[in-house]
Structure 1
Amino acid sequence: MAYWENADHSWTQDSKRLINTPSQKNKELFFYIQEVGYFKAFQPYYTERENLPSFLMKFTLSGSGKLSYLGKEYVLEEGTVFLIDCRHYQHYKTISKEPWEMDWIHFYGGNSIPLFQEFIKDGSSIFHTKTSPKENVIHHLVHRLIQEQEAINARTEFKSSILIHELLNELILQKYELDFAVEDIPDFVIKLKEFLNNHFKETLTLGDLENRFHLNKYQLNKEFSKYIGIPPIEYLINKKISYAKDLLRYTSSSIKDISLEIGIENFAYFSRLFKMKTGMTPTFYRRQG
């Protein structure tokens, strides 16, 4: 289907809208800006569109707006962020009496699609930030991108790509509350990680870890995943596979012995697991090394 758009451009004179036309080379190499800006948009400001190959992020600084997207409606209050795929129908508008003040960016390219999928893995396109909007890293990153577009030079596309990537990472970190300090990691998570590092050659289940650490296995799984990035059993498997890689490359041990060394008695299962994790059989990996 063809792209279409309807809109009312009711925004203040101090609003900014910068449109970029990247070269084909930049499209192939980088994350790239399509448009970026800062708006104070008053009623009856709105936009509705469909089938635009672009991702759109808006961050509400003050006032409020309303988004209709994928059959749902969201009120966009101060501190609210949305990130959407503009190929799907969307409609957003100002609903507050005062202007809806926002940072925004249309972008594409690079790893936009998988990072967008990571952002929406919980089924939601929005979240609410915890810090004051104008002190938030998201706000500062968008304004750095605006500054780059206002003073274009030979490095602009390189720097803009890095900033877009940083922005997407920041959106994911803040949405899933991963922007924590190392000292915030609970002691039991640190101890569990150390235990897995020291005992990865053993055969362990989530039930074994539950009994050892005297915590509900669901809590163990949730908290370890939050702070380490993956569940404890997946972490254990990754340690086993990493060690198996080392043995395959730098020793002459048989594949069966390596399987037993890392605590997997079923040689066929080890081969399937290794291929699932690396895309190669143990034999092929050894030959490539």
Structure 2
Amino acid sequence: MPQYTEHASHSWTPDSVRLITSPSVAARSALMYVQEVGYFWTHPPYFTERQHLPSYLLLYTVSGEGQLEYGGQTYSLQPHSLFFIDCMAHQHYRTAEHNHWEFAWVHFYGWASKHYYELYAQQGDPRLQLLQQSPLLGQIRALIDIHENKTVHTELLASKLLTELTTELILSAHVRDSDSDAMPSYIADAVREMERRYSERLRMDDLARSLAVSKYHFTREFKKHIGMSPNDYLIYLRIVKAKELLQYTAQSIAAIADEIGIDNVSHFINLFKAREGLTPFAFRKKWRTL
């Protein structure tokens, strides 16, 4: 692993809060866990510059102004904005000149943290401007509170809060362009049509044409609103039906492949294994022995 480096000026007030934790082996192996959490009132020349730290950082600006350099860009951090970054990458954040900067923050790691970060990072901007009524600041404050008053349940409660916080953040990021984010009616129509005709030779060109949209536009909007491409969704429907038939009927693997619209049994077996982690035969055997 590359060597961790950090330079900083700790220009924060005496009543600022900084809590460092030591997560248990169980938390490291199975939970999202807090590494550090705090609430700072800072003034120039406060800054932190680091890289190669295995950690993710959420930082919420309460008042004043900060600046973030990350990914080759510089961002102004205004009240009610939050940034979410991977601390393995180079970062430099600081109090803006001739200003103060009040912010709440949490370093965390473990379990699904990478997945949450990658979902958020799809938007291409580490910063997000939030509504004043967003619960995110309250959630960070709750993390501070439970670590100031530790109990046997602290790590579980912290993991629960981190999951809620990162989920809320991702949802906020995905709906901030709400005027353009309403799912078009033709996507819902396409989903219903695919659910009805999944066992047929359904071509996406024909489906898009029947919906009076271009294939490119249809594919892009479908993935945006459903979370996978139309072809992947069709495969998903077929695999779900195949699992039902494997569990609750005695049909052969070849017959099931044919029933769900896949005429090559070897292709069906490969698709099933790629998505479920085991062959159709092994899946059936597993469920029959439960």
Q: For each residue in 1:166-192, what CA deviation from the matched residue of structure 2 results, as whole angstroms up to 9, or x when unmatched? A: 212222222232897xx9544333222
Task: Report the equivalent of 1:228.
Answer: 226
Q: For each residue in 1:113-141, what CA deviation from the matched residue of structure 2 results, as whole angstroms up to 9, or x when unmatched? A: 2322332245x351323422xx2122221
Matching residue's letter, 1:261: E
Tell which deviates more after alignment, 100-109 or 218-227: 218-227
Q: For each residue in 1:188-227, what CA deviation from the matched residue of structure 2 results, as whole angstroms up to 9, or x when unmatched? A: 3322222222221122122122122112333323333333
Tell which deviates more after alignment, 95-104 or 148-157: 95-104
* Contact kept in structure 1, 2:18 and 2:36, CA below 8 Å: yes
Structure 1 residue 46: Cα displacement: 0.3
The aligned length equals 284
Task: Report the equivalent of 1:145.
Answer: 143
* Contact kept in structure 2, 1:173 and 1:179, CA below 8 Å: no
Structure 1 residue 83: Cα displacement: 1.9
Task: Report the equivalent of 1:7.
Answer: 8
Structure 1 residue 109: Cα displacement: 1.6
Matching residue's letter, 2:27: N
Task: Report the equivalent of 1:37.
Answer: 38
Q: For each residue in 1:251-272, what CA deviation from the matched residue of structure 2 results, as whole angstroms up to 9, or x when unmatched? A: 2222222112111223332222
Task: Report the equivalent of 2:253.
Answer: 255
Matching residue's letter, 2:25: Q
**Which stretches in structure 2 are left out of the alignment for 5+ residues?**
none
- What CA distance in whole angstroms lies between the structure 1 residues aligned with 2:25 and 2:49? 28
Secondary structure in 1 aligned to 2:213? coil
Task: Report the equivalent of 2:173.
Answer: 175
- What CA distance in whole angstroms lies between the structure 2 residues aligned with 1:147 and 1:93? 25
Does residue 201 of structure 1 match 2:202?
Answer: no
Matching residue's letter, 1:40: W
- What CA distance in whole angstroms lies between the structure 1 residues aligned with 2:54 and 2:187? 41
Tell which deviates more after alignment, 88-97 or 39-48: 88-97
TM-score (norm 2): 0.87
Matching residue's letter, 1:75: S
Task: Report the equivalent of 2:275.
Answer: 277
Task: Report the equivalent of 2:83.
Answer: 82
* Contact kept in structure 1, 2:57 and 2:84, CA below 8 Å: yes
- What CA distance in whole angstroms lies between the structure 2 residues aligned with 1:89 and 1:252? 57
1:22 to 1:191, Cα distance in 2 relative to 1, 3 A:
same
- What CA distance in whole angstroms lies between the structure 1 residues aligned with 2:270 and 2:119? 26
* Contact kept in structure 2, 1:54 and 1:86, CA below 8 Å: yes
- What CA distance in whole angstroms lies between the structure 2 residues aligned with 1:159 and 1:130? 24
Matching residue's letter, 1:129: Q
- What CA distance in whole angstroms lies between the structure 2 residues aligned with 1:77 and 1:287? 57
Secondary structure in 2 aligned to 1:67? strand
* Contact kept in structure 1, 2:82 and 2:130, CA below 8 Å: no
- What CA distance in whole angstroms lies between the structure 2 residues aligned with 1:27 and 1:255? 41
Task: Report the equivalent of 1:99.
Answer: 100
Task: Report the equivalent of 1:23.
Answer: 24
Matching residue's letter, 2:163: H
1:129 to 1:277, Cα distance in 2 relative to 1, 3 A:
same
Task: Report the equivalent of 2:236.
Answer: 238
Task: Report the equivalent of 1:127.
Answer: 127
Identity %: 38
* Contact kept in structure 2, 1:32 and 1:107, CA below 8 Å: yes
Matches within 5 A, 1:177-192: 177=175, 184-192=182-190
1:280 to 1:24, Cα distance in 2 relative to 1, 3 A:
closer
Does residue 287 of structure 1 match 2:288?
Answer: no
* Contact kept in structure 2, 1:264 and 1:270, CA below 8 Å: yes
Matching residue's letter, 1:76: L
Q: What's the C-alpha RMSD, in Å, of the aligned pairs?
A: 2.4
TM-score (norm 1): 0.87
- What CA distance in whole angstroms lies between the structure 2 residues aligned with 1:242 and 1:164? 31
* Contact kept in structure 1, 2:58 and 2:107, CA below 8 Å: yes
1:57 to 1:194, Cα distance in 2 relative to 1, 3 A:
same
- What CA distance in whole angstroms lies between the structure 2 residues aligned with 1:22 and 1:179? 37
* Contact kept in structure 2, 1:129 and 1:174, CA below 8 Å: no
Secondary structure in 2 aligned to 1:276? helix
Matching residue's letter, 2:131: T
1:63 to 1:216, Cα distance in 2 relative to 1, 3 A:
farther
- What CA distance in whole angstroms lies between the structure 1 residues aligned with 2:216 and 2:91? 37
